[in-house]
Structure 1
Amino acid sequence: MASSPTVPPNEHDPSPGGAAPPGPAATVTATEALGAPQAPPGPTAAPGGASAGSHGYRALLSTPGAWRFLVPGFAARLPYAMLGLGIVLLLEHTTGSYGTAGAVAAAAAIAQALAGPHVGRLADRRGQAAVVVPASVAHALSVSALTALALTGAPLWALFAAALAAGGTTPQIGPMIRSRWMTRLGPSPLTGTAFAFESVTDEFTFVVGPVVTTALCTAVHPAAGLAATAALVLAGGLLFAAQRTGAPAATGRARPGTRHAGAMSAPGLRLLVVAFLGIGTVFGSLQVSLAAFARETGTPGLAGWLYAVFAGGSMAAGVLYGAVRRRSALDRQLLVTYALLVLAAAPLWTARSPLPLGAVALLCGLAVAPTLITGFTLAEVVVPDNAKTEAFTWLTGAVGLGLAAGSTVAGQLADLVGARAGLAVPAVGTGCAFVLLLLARRLLRPTPRP
């Protein structure tokens, strides 16, 4: 739920797809750029390694044209963290049932996760602007329809239909921005810093988004949160599409008789999807379990603070991780950070009071962002060049599905056994994923490129 430096920019004139015409640099892999041994003989060395301190971020954000897509992109991706809570707050107001509100919000989240890779594939083939514009308009209309249906007391099936449409039309701005960084930077040691910056931005949206939504729904109107979601997506999405800086060139349709190599054709990405599902269970189970724990201990107001400690730890770790030069192989980095995540999640269920739980949640958060950053960086080198956006949407969607599964299981356990039982879900989810990562580590090798 995880998440660009100074390099010689590509100064070619933008093509209709917004990217520079392919040149010799496009055929160089990230590992070659670092002088590491070429794959497939072995795992890639880390392309992510900004200079120490804040210089990497300063260089990243000094990249010519970066702010042109970062600002509208942030406005358009913020609603990603607002939609679910906005649905819950509005529907609880109109139906009086948290169960109904949660089920409709879950439908939107699942549609968002399942449709995301298809949106990403279309963006790779037809160009980002050709996908973002209709998706932004459709999403704004779907959210507006859901709001109107809720306020007029429409039947439950209509609410579910509108929620599925709202989730399925969500513009995949975060993955598209990651693709733009890859196009803008080319093979560069700042690649890892870019992924770190994006991971921190994702975390920031999930800190700010719920706060903005809650404030609007409580101080203005229960529907104000969804209204802001629709407006931000529409305005931010259209402005983002209008800025072609760094946008990858459209690959077009596959020629007759040829087969398009999709992102999931890479075994390494399939393994990363499993890893990100495990990370998603951490987000989902903690959201539910921390609230249940705070209620059980008679301090319901602490739920938000406990989750803020977890999210704050992840943000801080993301900032620091992106500013450190890392020379070990990416697959080894992922195994180390994932092992730390499992170890940090393991004692969550043993906490019996808020203070120890907050300390363990902080440790868990510290391990999340580095794992997400390394996973996204690995995805960049294990998938074909024409499927970058699709690959990033698969990983984002995997976190969403893991979140839905984690929150569902943790909620059931909290109702049947208690909050501490729900706090065991992160260790189980990440533990299972880590075992698969360990057994199939050889799949995390970069895809050979022409």
Structure 2
Amino acid sequence: MASTVTSSKTSRPGYGHLLRTHGAWTFLLPGFAARQPFAMLTISIVLLVRHTTGSYAAAGAAAAVTGVSMALFAPWSGRLADRFGQRAVLIPGVPAHALAGLALTALALADAPLWALLAAAVPTGASVPQIGPMVRARWAVQLRGTPLMNTAAAFESVTDELAFVVGPLLATALCTAVDPAAGLVTEAALTLAGGLLFAARKSTQPPAGTGGHARVKHASALRVPGVRVLAVAFLGIGSVFGGMQVALAAFTESIGEPGLNGVLYGVFAAGNMFSGIACGAVAWKAAPQRRLVVGYGALVLAAAGLWAAHSVPLLAGLGLLVGMCVAPALITGYTLVEDLVPAGARTEAFTWLTGAVALGQAGAVTVAGQLEDHLWDGAAFLVPLGGTAPALATLLALRPRPAAPPRTRTVARGVGHREPVTVD
């Protein structure tokens, strides 16, 4: 282990080296297509249900149920993938999600009652394939013990944000220029094609039961205190995504330019993406827990100014700033997971964080829809601040926990193995 630590301090290969990793592109390309549900699903539901019902509250409720279902089922999906392998989870799960999304679309177009839409939203969210966590788990196996792990964490955050640039733009364009249902139909098609191609790449998936079958079967990644703290932080980040989606949709409709919704959200996501690229290119000297607190504080301050924006240029600038503050927190959180959680529970840990973002997004969409329907125009812009401020308080109170990986509890005292090994 000493040689690994030394190499990480003296050299830090960049994105080019990372992307030359053997077999990387075989799971990155289909994985990108299959990530689109997380980027397209909520906004597609909001736009479709708002069109068919005329209510942001109903649209927010349907999107929220989808997000909550995803948040509740995602960790179980990750745990099953750790235990039985990613392919075993994806082969039945990907077609199930596509069918559920199409069923929700058909019900909305048939003017079904709200309770029917909410019932259909449950399997739609529960079956969202957890491609992002699965890709991160593949990187963890491919790059174990190398200084490229931090670069991989940054690259994955950038990829997520690229999806959040492409996804909302594509969904909004399809829903406004083609048909209100086109967003969900396209999301289902991309999930089916990308998810099955990703599942077909068996050679790069982590071995089933990595880290010990007993550990995977009986221990949850959520038992790690640092993972719980990070989950709270990611809940707050989810509130930014959900609040911005509803607030921007309502704002652009109020000024008679609904097509600008995807553009403004794309600017927000672009700020996140470019900030993530920069984070991955920097050789950080500050401790990750300190970077997390500082970055999160900046996010809260940026979100505090959103409610005052009343013009497209000002809102675009503030959205860009908020987006730039999201990436450092996401990247640092995912990087900390590498130290906190053993390999056999890592996919589950990543899905807890992804699920926390989805849960925060679902709650934010619900609250933002209610605020827009019952208060003043632009009230939904208060939601990102309301979600991130309590999360920052939690980070400030418990910040030592994410930085304390349990490296020595499973071996003899003084031996600094990162994962459980047989004591010599």
In 2, Cα distance between the equivalents of 1:98 and 1:301? 17
**Pair 1:446 & 2:391 matched:** no
Partner of 1:4: none
Query: Which 5+ residue runs of structure 1 have no aligned equivalent?
Result: 1-27, 37-46
* Aligned residues between the structures: 407
Partner of 1:34: 5
Measure how far apart 1:318 and its partner are.
0.6
Distance 1:418 1:32, change over 3 A: farther
Q: Which amino acid aligns with 2:332?
A: T
Q: Deviations over 1:4-62 (max 9, x none)?
A: xxxxxxxxxxxxxxxxxxxxxxxx5xx983249xxxxxxxxxx79984xxx61111111
TM-score, with normalisation over the residues of structure 2?
A: 0.86
Kindly report which structure 2 residues correspond to 1:62-211, keeping only aligned pairs within 5 A, or say none: 62-95=20-53, 97-211=55-169
Q: Which amino acid aligns with 1:132?
A: L
Q: Deviations over 1:198-242 (max 9, x none)?
A: 111111112212232334345544433333222222222121111
Partner of 1:363: 321
The correspondence for 2:351, drawn from 393, 401, 404, is 393
SS at match of 1:248: coil
Measure how far apart 1:305 and its partner are.
3.7
In 2, Cα distance between the equivalents of 1:196 and 1:150? 38
Would you say the 8 A contact 1:49–1:192 is kept in 2?
no
Select between 146-155 and 437-446 the one with higher mean Cα deviation.
Answer: 146-155
SS at match of 2:283: coil
Q: Deviations over 1:152-209 (max 9, x none)?
A: 4545433322221111011101100010011111122211211111111111112212
In 2, Cα distance between the equivalents of 1:260 and 1:441? 27
Q: Which amino acid aligns with 2:4?
A: A
Would you say the 8 A contact 2:55–2:373 is kept in 1?
no
In 2, Cα distance between the equivalents of 1:251 and 1:159? 37
In 2, Cα distance between the equivalents of 1:264 and 1:229? 30
Would you say the 8 A contact 1:82–1:225 is kept in 2?
yes
Partner of 2:207: 249
Higher helix proportion, which one?
2
Distance 1:394 1:432, change over 3 A: same
Distance 1:87 1:288, change over 3 A: closer
Measure how far apart 1:103 and its partner are.
2.4
In 2, Cα distance between the equivalents of 1:374 and 1:237? 27
Measure how far apart 1:99 and its partner are.
4.0
Measure how far apart 1:299 and its partner are.
6.5
In 1, Cα distance between the equivalents of 2:203 and 2:287? 31
Kindly report which structure 2 residues correspond to 1:304-383, keeping only aligned pairs within 5 A, or say none: 304-383=262-341
Query: Which 5+ residue runs of structure 2 have no aligned equivalent?
Result: 408-418
CA RMSD of aligned residues (A): 2.9
Measure how far apart 1:295 and its partner are.
5.6
In 2, Cα distance between the equivalents of 1:411 and 1:141? 27
Measure how far apart 1:344 and its partner are.
2.1
In 1, Cα distance between the equivalents of 2:111 and 2:120? 13
Distance 1:154 1:246, change over 3 A: same
Measure how far apart 1:352 and its partner are.
4.7
Would you say the 8 A contact 1:274–1:398 is kept in 2?
yes
SS at match of 2:285: coil
Measure how far apart 1:112 and its partner are.
1.2
In 1, Cα distance between the equivalents of 2:339 and 2:93? 28
Kindly report which structure 2 residues correspond to 1:160-309, keeping only aligned pairs within 5 A, or say none: 160-251=118-209, 255=214, 260-294=218-252, 302-309=260-267
Would you say the 8 A contact 2:176–2:259 is kept in 1?
no
Would you say the 8 A contact 2:269–2:323 is kept in 1?
yes
In 2, Cα distance between the equivalents of 1:323 and 1:128? 30
In 2, Cα distance between the equivalents of 1:138 and 1:65? 28
SS at match of 1:424: helix
TM-score, with normalisation over the residues of structure 1?
A: 0.82
In 2, Cα distance between the equivalents of 1:345 and 1:363? 9
Partner of 1:427: 385
